[in-house]
Structure 1
């Protein structure tokens, strides 16, 4: 890959991961299509993107740990209940057609954006709820399903986790994004990368250093911006990404 393409790959990775770290998901919006555009086959691009996305989680985790406001019990809960779903999804994606699944995912992501826009006070303050046995059991089932989406498709699962944490458990957007970036960005993506590699996908190692640097810096920068900005701004960024990602998935049919 020549210097111009290398620069484009780095910028695309940096921008997509900064936005994802600020909004709670969506790194695959730019990074994955860019890998396809540069000539990687679908399976190789997906596996390479999954590995690179782990650096997003590392960058975000470092920043959130420095700020010391991460609820670890809830974060470990999200990591553990979604992990099996991630593994199942990673094994399914290489054996089933993805177009219909991506169209359905696009429609669901748009619906998240519409719901957030029409619910003006959503995620602006922390209002703890459903944090008892039944609430955690139902939450585990939903997070397992989202984990399958994370393992199998390229973008959007983090947005589902962010919205679920806001709506079901009553987190504000800042808290929800922090939990999502550590649990999904770091651990779910790492598990998914390993699972899809073991399922037979090939990782394109020559491009990984550039992608890892862009993802790491983007994850850290987005997390830093999330701490500096208001819940309202993060809510708007979340909504913008849901519409862009959703319509992109539908238009790619």
Structure 2
């Protein structure tokens, strides 16, 4: 691997790590990049998971340092997602790639609309909903979110944000802190599957991890300092841009 190529991967990782923590969709940058550099899609998918682990570990540490967390609820969600992730990583799905991207783009736009009109995500203060029924439906929903996360991961941040703001009424700052914890836990299971299948290029994984880790750290700092208003703006812009890319540029 040449130095210039390594620097390019690191920069892409920084951008992806930042977006993954603040909004989502960072893997829609790194996955195509790894494939463009010559990795088979399955290897690129597995390689990207190592960077996701690094990114979320740094983000979790920073959120905890700032006192932003929802323990132990985030662990319950993470365990549920981990079970789903194990299934997702083992799934063999025969779906046309163009059709999949267009379905994903529609889902992202729907998520953007729902977040835009969600009063909690719009900055209006409401009490968090942490009754048993809210936690129960949260755990159930994250099992299915984990299935998708284990299979692909790309764009899952948008789905997690929607689930946590709608089911539990969390602010976007707290949502992001829970999101990185859940993603870290379920990614462990997915990584185990990819390691077992020898589907990771460790050279690329370590270089990309440097960028993702730094980007994840920056994203957590930004989330805490800037708050929901800025997170929402970046979230909506990111969704719209990536949705357009997925629909028109295959």
Distance 1:143 1:235, change over 3 A: same
Partner residue, 2:158 = 159
Unaligned 5+ runs, structure 1? none
Q: Distance in 2 between matches of 1:246 and 1:111?
A: 10
How far 1:90 sits from its partner (Å)?
0.7
Distance 1:246 1:171, change over 3 A: same
| TM-score, with length taken from structure 1 | 0.90
Partner residue, 1:231 = 228
How far 1:196 sits from its partner (Å)?
3.2
Is residue 126–residue 170 contact of structure 1 (8 Å, CA) maintained in 2? no
| Deviation larger for 216-225 or 73-82 | 73-82
Counterpart secondary structure, 1:122:
coil
Q: Distance in 1 between matches of 2:130 and 2:119?
A: 23
Partner residue, 1:20 = 20
How far 1:140 sits from its partner (Å)?
2.2
How far 1:201 sits from its partner (Å)?
5.0
Partner residue, 1:144 = 143
Q: Distance in 1 between matches of 2:38 and 2:94?
A: 22
Distance 1:123 1:245, change over 3 A: same
What is the alpha-carbon root mean square deviation over aligned residues?
A: 2.0
| TM-score, with length taken from structure 2 | 0.91
Is residue 129–residue 168 contact of structure 1 (8 Å, CA) maintained in 2? no
Is residue 29–residue 155 contact of structure 1 (8 Å, CA) maintained in 2? yes
Partner residue, 1:190 = 188
Unaligned 5+ runs, structure 2? none
How far 1:47 sits from its partner (Å)?
0.4
Q: Distance in 1 between matches of 2:102 and 2:194?
A: 22
Is residue 47–residue 196 contact of structure 1 (8 Å, CA) maintained in 2? yes
Distance 1:143 1:102, change over 3 A: farther
How far 1:237 sits from its partner (Å)?
1.1
Deviations 1:173-204 (A, max 9, x none): 111011101211x2122222212333x25111
Q: Distance in 2 between matches of 1:9 and 1:116?
A: 31
Is residue 43–residue 201 contact of structure 1 (8 Å, CA) maintained in 2? no
Matches within 5 A, 1:18-167: 18-23=18-23, 25-92=24-91, 94-97=92-95, 99=97, 100-119=99-118, 122=121, 124-125=123-124, 127-167=126-166
* Alignment partner of 1:210 is 2:207: yes
How far 1:138 sits from its partner (Å)?
2.3
How far 1:131 sits from its partner (Å)?
2.5
| Deviation larger for 136-145 or 8-17 | 136-145
Q: Distance in 1 between matches of 2:176 and 2:93?
A: 32
Q: Distance in 1 between matches of 2:75 and 2:119?
A: 29
Q: Distance in 1 between matches of 2:133 and 2:71?
A: 20
